[in-house]
């Protein structure tokens, strides 16, 4: 597909968007049935003042239902050794099974996963329709971080930074 235009079909859209490398997060919330969480990479920093993030939620996401109920969610940024955590939260097993498989701590109404690079707790401030997804905007009210190496997603596969990238210079 390099150097040529592709028809705007869903398969080409998927494979072209897979060239956009991202980190991996788990968005957590607490709904009527308790903790809920989903792996998400449609996550972006939206605004600095006020501090806002935005997330693209599939309309079928149970975590979206929980977040819309509680108006609270957290973004947990996964570390390079948390691929299995990502696989667990990308699945459709019960939310209880997901959280049994992953150590976490309840923090002011939201589950925060252990061993992540960073977490941000947010209140939901807006929801916009976005095709088969909803765009959720959250105001950051609390945050923390442990640092470390990120888990990445590129070309439909999990990746890690190589040694040269880790030693790279900060962006200007």
91 binds ligand FMN per the rule CB under 6 A: yes
Q: Binding marks (x or -) toward ligand FMN, 122..151, rule CB under 6 A?
A: ------------------------------
Contact region with ligand FMN (CB under 6 A), list: 5-13, 55-63, 71-79, 109-117? 55-63
Contact region with ligand FMN (CB under 6 A), list: 84-92, 101-109, 116-124, 136-144? 84-92
Q: Report the C-alpha gap between 170 and 20 in whole angstroms.
A: 20
Cβ atoms 30, 70 nearer than 8 A: yes
Residues 6 or more apart in contact with residue 96 via CB below 8 angstroms: 34
Choose between 90 and 108: whose C-beta lies nearer to ligand FMN. 90
Please give the size of the binding site for ligand FMN, defined by CB under 6 A: 18
Q: Report the C-alpha gap between 18 and 1 in whole angstroms.
A: 13
57 binds ligand FMN per the rule CB under 6 A: yes
24 binds ligand FMN per the rule CB under 6 A: yes
Q: In what order do the strands lie in the sheet with 22-23?
A: 22-23, 152-154, 157-159
CA-wise closest residue to 37 among 64, 59, 58: 64
Kindly state the DSSP code that residue 150 receives in the 8-state scheme: B
23 binds ligand FMN per the rule CB under 6 A: no
Chain residues in the site for ligand FMN (CB under 6 A): 24, 36, 38-42, 56-58, 61-63, 89-92, 153
């Amino acid at each position: 597909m390099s150097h040529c235009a592709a028809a705007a079909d869903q398969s080409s859209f998927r494979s072209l968007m897979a060239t956009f490398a991202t980190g991996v997060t788990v968005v957590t919330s607490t709904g009527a049935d308790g903790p809920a969480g989903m792996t998400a990479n449609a996550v972006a920093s939206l605004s600095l003042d006020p501090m806002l993030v935005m997330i693209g939620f599939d309309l079928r996401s149970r975590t979206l239902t929980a977040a819309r109920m509680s108006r609270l969610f957290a973004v947990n940024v996964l570390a390079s050794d948390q691929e299995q955590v990502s696989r667990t939260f990308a699945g459709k097993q019960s939310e209880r099974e997901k959280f049994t498989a992953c150590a976490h701590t309840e923090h002011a109404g939201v589950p925060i996963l252990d061993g992540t690079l960073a977490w941000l707790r947010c209140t939901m401030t807006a929801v916009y329709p976005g095709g088969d997804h909803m765009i959720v905007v959250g105001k950051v009210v609390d945050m923390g971080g442990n640092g470390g190496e990120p888990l990445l997603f590129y070309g439909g596969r999990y990746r890690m930074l190589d040694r040269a990238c880790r030693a790279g210079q900060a962006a200007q």
